[in-house]
Structure 1
């Protein structure tokens, strides 16, 4: 793999040399980075970033070289940049500080962030290691503080980065979420490897919020929370070829918290495998919110001993002290097609729709899930869900055959 990227660097070097012989490669080592895993290289990375960002040349490239480990405190790589296409060639590894005292004076919401950088491509076989264990100890993944989440920064954040590409990188042991994208358009993530222990709290793989035209392809995600979570303001999300597990599956939501007006639409999840996940494909909303989640497709999904394979939960309330509200997020046009597998519970399909709003046009077609519980037969639960159920076992009562 390293040989492939070395060849790639050489090709880019040749292609980016101008007539004067100048190169568009900017190596962080030339700006004072040490790369020994102990020295704080934050200032060197910030300085190095300014060169490709301010370069008027076509396709400037920031190089993070192989066989190096770069210790970084919180760093934000800001735009807008002069070039409409910036590459980060990430062959080396990046690690977070291994003590909380190193974060004194910094905001605790982000570790590494790219903001307002259009045409950004990050490619390489390097690893981003959040060293999150020092943050996880404050709460269990199954005992998150009521009304909130565990403290800790998101390891890698993209904010207002249109035309974004992230390919081939590894992301391990984030402090909280591994990757988050906000207000981004035209995003492609592929061939990623994201991992953290099953017991690590709130270590979502990829969180998507207020973003559109997002593709996540051919990646492995195994963490202590959602493999992928899709939040309000997101649309045209295409997820294909994901191996998810451990974790909490792929979720739309939660939506409508604190009476919020939240919307999600055109989400397509295809050709994914869920291996021993706590949930599989899930839509979760709070009572009292307004808005909608619609035009959602789960197709060609395989479950391997998933605890709760298919869930619509319009009574989402992790704290357990929620009021019964009359309004709710409208869920409609949700399709489950060609889904098979096994579950460690016997309630394998759970459609718990709001008593006032309900769920409409729910379609199940060729869904077949069995229970691995000895002596138990798989069954479904449905409340105020309306639609069709064809060639499905167990049959979902209340839906038309």
Structure 2
């Protein structure tokens, strides 16, 4: 524990030193290079030309998108750069509303950049309504993938703060192959019925920090894919949405292990699930370890505590074949509030590889509804250890 705190502190100090170095950065205001804040004129070419100038600079630089409304098409921001670069968005940047105008599954994609900042208090509006209406992925396995608002691929030592992503057509943020990446005061907003609009999805990344942020969307607020390591979520408000999830895992061959996930001091409100680990039945082998959920408030949350190794959305699986994903060293501590379902704690593990080293401590979850007189738990293929008081009784 002491070593982990030391690692977090060292990362924070390194980021602080880096970000202080950009305070005297050279400024590139996109409106000085031809961009118009009229919500109609496309700024793709302007942003790309300004990025090339900033990225080639040997001293820190800052690209400014000032207040106003700007139209931006599909863009890839490419590194590496010669010095730290910040993009400061003060206004609203809008995507084309028609999903057919995109050639790939990314709207604004950042690739291979070190020492990068995205800030400014601005908004990235994905204008996702048409895409949501056309989304048939719930019954079509060959559905067309729509663009993610913000893709971060292989970014290191980065800070995204005081930014809003609004109404993405697909995931709001996808983090892939990144290291030492912090989201601070980050906001995700989309309607509860917007399909597949995960707030922040993380995969094959190490050292991701999500702090003091607000996420309300139509899917998972935060989701971890395979290869996620040392992810820290603190002070996040989640809801509406599907909760904070690890997985789903095991669907694909050669998935990397998930290891090290801390969720602390968070509040979930009116979400379909609370904190959840989900793996597919009939899965490929995999592993999940070192997951810790602590000091969490649930407000009318469905299934507040979940391990589900028979995860089978839309019945597109073989639920009678057990999952081969191993789950161990998981703790749920000091989780309190209200459940909108009678099943407040659901620990359904694999009969082939039962969960190991699961700790449940100081749970206080209430239920007031027609399903049952009081909250209760469901458990299979797991023998948890207990600390403190449990209400409802878990695996009794």
| Post-superposition offset of 1:262 | 3.5
User: Within the alignment, does 1:257 sit opposite 2:251 as a pair?
Assistant: yes
Q: Distance in 2 between matches of 1:320 and 1:259?
A: 20
- 2:301 matched residue in structure 1: 306
| Post-superposition offset of 1:348 | 0.6
Q: 1:150 to 1:199 in 2, by over 3 A?
A: farther
Q: 1:380 to 1:43 in 2, by over 3 A?
A: same
| Post-superposition offset of 1:386 | 2.1
| Post-superposition offset of 1:308 | 1.3
SS state at 2:313 partner = coil
User: Within the alignment, does 1:207 sit opposite 2:206 as a pair?
Assistant: no
| Post-superposition offset of 1:82 | 1.2
TM-score by length of 1: 0.89
Superposition map of 1:386-397 within 5 A: 386-390=383-387, 391-397=389-395
- 2:45 matched residue in structure 1: 43
User: Within the alignment, does 1:367 sit opposite 2:363 as a pair?
Assistant: yes
Contact 1:389 1:395 in 2 (8 A): no
User: Within the alignment, does 1:89 sit opposite 2:88 as a pair?
Assistant: yes
Q: Distance in 2 between matches of 1:14 and 1:286?
A: 47
The correspondence for 2:28, drawn from 26, 29, 35, is 26
Contact 2:22 2:86 in 1 (8 A): no
| Post-superposition offset of 1:147 | 3.6
Contact 2:280 2:323 in 1 (8 A): no
| Post-superposition offset of 1:102 | 3.4
| Post-superposition offset of 1:222 | 0.3
| Post-superposition offset of 1:312 | 0.5
Q: Distance in 1 between matches of 2:225 and 2:344?
A: 24
Contact 2:288 2:326 in 1 (8 A): yes
The correspondence for 1:295, drawn from 290, 294, 319, is 290
User: Within the alignment, does 1:238 sit opposite 2:232 as a pair?
Assistant: yes
Q: Distance in 2 between matches of 1:260 and 1:326?
A: 18
Superposition map of 1:332-371 within 5 A: 332-371=328-367
Q: Distance in 2 between matches of 1:165 and 1:13?
A: 12
- 1:8 matched residue in structure 2: none
Contact 2:250 2:323 in 1 (8 A): no
TM-score by length of 2: 0.90
Q: CA RMSD in A?
A: 1.8
Q: 1:292-338 CA deviation, whole Å, 9 max, x = no partner?
A: 11100000000000011111011112131423435511000100011
- 2:6 matched residue in structure 1: none
Q: 1:240-295 CA deviation, whole Å, 9 max, x = no partner?
A: 00000000000000111044434111100000000000000000011322121110
The correspondence for 1:115, drawn from 107, 111, 116, is 111
Deviates more, 1:74-83 or 1:319-328: 319-328
- 1:63 matched residue in structure 2: 64
Contact 1:284 1:316 in 2 (8 A): yes
Q: 1:173-213 CA deviation, whole Å, 9 max, x = no partner?
A: 00111111100000000101111000000111100000011
SS state at 1:15 partner = coil
SS state at 2:293 partner = strand
Q: 1:397 to 1:14 in 2, by over 3 A?
A: closer
Structure 2: runs of 5 or more not aligned = 1-19
| Post-superposition offset of 1:89 | 1.4
Q: Distance in 2 between matches of 1:376 and 1:138?
A: 41
Q: Distance in 1 between matches of 2:305 and 2:31?
A: 49
User: Within the alignment, does 1:328 sit opposite 2:327 as a pair?
Assistant: no
User: Within the alignment, does 1:187 sit opposite 2:181 as a pair?
Assistant: yes
Q: Distance in 1 between matches of 2:106 and 2:227?
A: 21
Q: 1:174 to 1:326 in 2, by over 3 A?
A: closer
- 1:15 matched residue in structure 2: 24
Q: Distance in 1 between matches of 2:270 and 2:169?
A: 23
Contact 1:135 1:151 in 2 (8 A): no
- 2:162 matched residue in structure 1: 168
Deviates more, 1:381-390 or 1:345-354: 381-390
SS state at 1:342 partner = strand
SS state at 1:125 partner = coil
Contact 1:146 1:319 in 2 (8 A): no
Structure 1: runs of 5 or more not aligned = 1-10, 17-23
Q: 1:330 to 1:100 in 2, by over 3 A?
A: closer
- 2:145 matched residue in structure 1: 151
Q: Distance in 1 between matches of 2:350 and 2:219?
A: 25
Q: Distance in 2 between matches of 1:325 and 1:373?
A: 33
| Post-superposition offset of 1:115 | 0.3
Q: Distance in 2 between matches of 1:260 and 1:325?
A: 19
